[in-house]
Structure 1
Amino acid sequence: MAAQQDKSLIIEQRGKLLIVKFNRPKKKNAMDDTIYKTLPNIFREAAKDDNITVVALTGVGEFYSSGNDLTRSIAIQEEDTDLDGLMSRKKFMILDFIRSFYTFPKLLVAVVNGPCFGVAATTAALCDIIYCSNTAYFCTPFVKLGICAEGGSSYTFPKILGKSKAMEMLLCNHKLTADEALKFNFVSEIFQINEIDKIWSKLIEFSKLPIGALRTTKELIQNIDKNELEKAILNEADALQQRWYTNEFFEAINSYFNSKL
């Protein structure tokens, strides 16, 4: 897969390591429809490419990602269109996006270079390894925004963090610091942001591992949680679609943008 760049993503290959960077720094790398649609295709291509063993995700600038681009939610309110059809398409786009993380058969690593919000945090939890910088923190303000847990977090967060800390994050808008993330085994290692090249060197070494053995071992691990994770993601998608129609959601989104004025 050759190096390339588009509006929302930068792709760079170093040996058998593929680095995918969220590239919307002016929007704090918020995920737009291009990212939702393009990233799953990148994963699918990388899965078939014998010259790729490891895929790593990171962000351009100071943020890993601020999560879903909320400006799209305001636009939906203002559009004169088939709202049911739009919501249904959005739901299946998100499902494809989420599934592309936990079905990826090779090594998938999140290199969280800064703050990581919402769907960025929940999909990071679906990666095989998370490394985070000393400037990073994780936040899932779903309830504050009038929506609900997504990205499999109703299953993965309690499993990784324990019930109490997971509830604090998913219900109460708690910001999980880098130190907390390491303490609760959410991340494997904290790196100094000015020493990120050490992480790339480590991943290049990982990419030299025997791909057959890596894929087989990962599949054995994936199969343990596959059914429960799929069930959680489907339940979350249904609940999320219902939340999009509520006054709580629209009021929360309007309140969020008014606070930015």
Structure 2
Amino acid sequence: MDIEITRTHDVLTIAFARPEKKNAITAAMYQTMADALVEAQQDPATRAVLIRGSAGIFSAGNDLEDFMKQPPVSDDAPVFQFLRAISSAEKPLVASVAGAAVGIGTTLLLHCDLVYAADTATFSLPFAQLGLCPEAASSLLLQRVAGYQGAAEKLMLGEPFDAKEAQRMGFVNRILPAAEVDAFALQQAQKLAALPASSLRVTKQLMKRAAQHEIQTQMTDEAVHFAKMLLAPEAKEAFKAFFEKRKPDFRQFS
């Protein structure tokens, strides 16, 4: 399985388990995660959810080959099911990040309640580099934690940054040694699972209520642009260059 679903007491763990492809995410993986998150919300035995990577890497983002074979152009595409599930989750979400977190590997963290990063973690948002636009409401959420210029630098240039900068920006709670981060994140999830579920649910609702409509609207707007840009010449050139292992030439487009 490319996604491993396990349970430790009251904590459900969703782990990327495709290290040979740097945990790049396929449509089937999105569907598995979406289903797991929906089931977790309905299952009283699940009191917290942990999302982590494997083999020293979080996720390289979308699997571009699979992405082109099954482009997410409809509202019920697995990636959009996943984004709706993670953005509306009422139970606590904890993330453990080691190694690279690329694209949605970074943007999904903006929907988590607690994020712990290894000192080896790197983050990047290379949407513009691929001729695309942000997703997962990152165009809204990232500037809320990092400020407009901080978000613009990451979303426009798409250059990698380390865990210290992610913590300074405000979406990483704590940095730990790579060998300790998964266990620590699970421990934190277990602490949440031991607290009153109703208290956590209401606390999360109160913190997110004002922004929830904006988040859903922003994700919808992003998805419309994303679908159009995915079929545009710039994205085709970016993807072709990626597979040909060369730099794309965007100067040919106005």
Determine which of 3, 23, 30 is the counterpart of 1:9.
Answer: 3
Alpha-carbon distance in 2 for matches of 1:105, 1:162:
26
Report matched runs for 1:55-204 at 5 Å: 55-75=49-69, 88-89=73-74, 92-196=77-181, 197-204=183-190
What's the CA shift string for 1:166-215, capped at 9, x where partnerless? 11111101212101111121210011111132332232222101101111
C-alpha deviations, 1:80-123, integer Å up to 9, x for none?
xxxxxx65337743222111111111001111122100012111
* Conservation of the 8 A alpha-carbon contact between 1:91 and 1:237: no
SS at match of 1:56: strand
Tell me which residue corresponds to 1:49.
43
Q: Is residue 2:248 matched to residue 1:254?
A: no
- The verdict on how the C-alpha distance between 1:73 and 1:38 changes in structure 2, with shifts beyond 3 A counting, is closer
The alignment's TM-score, normalised by the length of structure 1, stands at 0.89
Is the CA contact (8 Å cut-off) linking 1:29 and 1:63 kept in structure 2?
yes
- SS in structure 2 at match of 1:151: coil
Change (3 A) 1:63 1:259: same
DSSP 3-state at the match of 1:110: strand
SS at match of 1:13: strand
Does the 8 A contact of 2:117 with 2:174 survive in 1? yes
Q: Distance in 2 between matches of 1:75 and 1:37?
A: 16
Distance (Å, rounded) in 1 between the aligned partners of 2:27 and 2:91: 25
**Residues 219 and 88 of structure 1: is their aligned pair in 2 closer, same or farther, counting only changes over 3 Å?**
same
Question: Would the aligned equivalents of 1:73 and 1:253 in 2 still touch at CA under 8 Å?
Answer: no
Q: CA separation of 1:87/1:205 partners in 2, compared to 1, >3 Å: closer, same or farther?
A: closer
Q: Of residues 196, 200, 204 in structure 2, which corresponds to 1:214?
A: 200
User: SS where residue 34 of structure 1 aligns?
Assistant: helix
Matches for 1:227-246 after TM superposition, within 5 Å: 227-246=213-232
C-alpha distance in 1 between matches for 2:67 and 2:31: 17
Deviates more, 1:161-170 or 1:66-75: 66-75
- TM-score normalised by structure 2 residue count: 0.92
In structure 2, give the amino acid aligned to 1:176: F
Partner Cα distance (1:184, 1:88) in 2: 32
Q: 1:144 to 1:213 in 2, by over 3 A?
A: same
Name the SS for the 2:45 alignment partner: coil
CA distance in 2, matches of 1:104, 1:73: 25
Q: Deviations over 1:15-48 (max 9, x none)?
A: 1111110111001001111111111111111111
Runs of at least 4 residues off by over 6 Å: none
1:152/1:232 contact within 8 Å kept: yes
Whole-angstrom distance in 1 between the partners of 2:76 and 2:122: 27
Deviations along 1:43-87, whole A, 9 cap, x unmatched? 1111111111110100111210011001124546xxxxxxxxx65
Instruction: Look up the match of 2:12.
Output: 18
Shift of residue 126, structure 1, vs aligned partner: 1.1
Fraction of identical pairs, as percent: 29
How many correspondences in the alignment? 245
Asked if structure 1 preserves the Cα contact closer than 8 Å seen for 2:10 and 2:45, the reply is yes
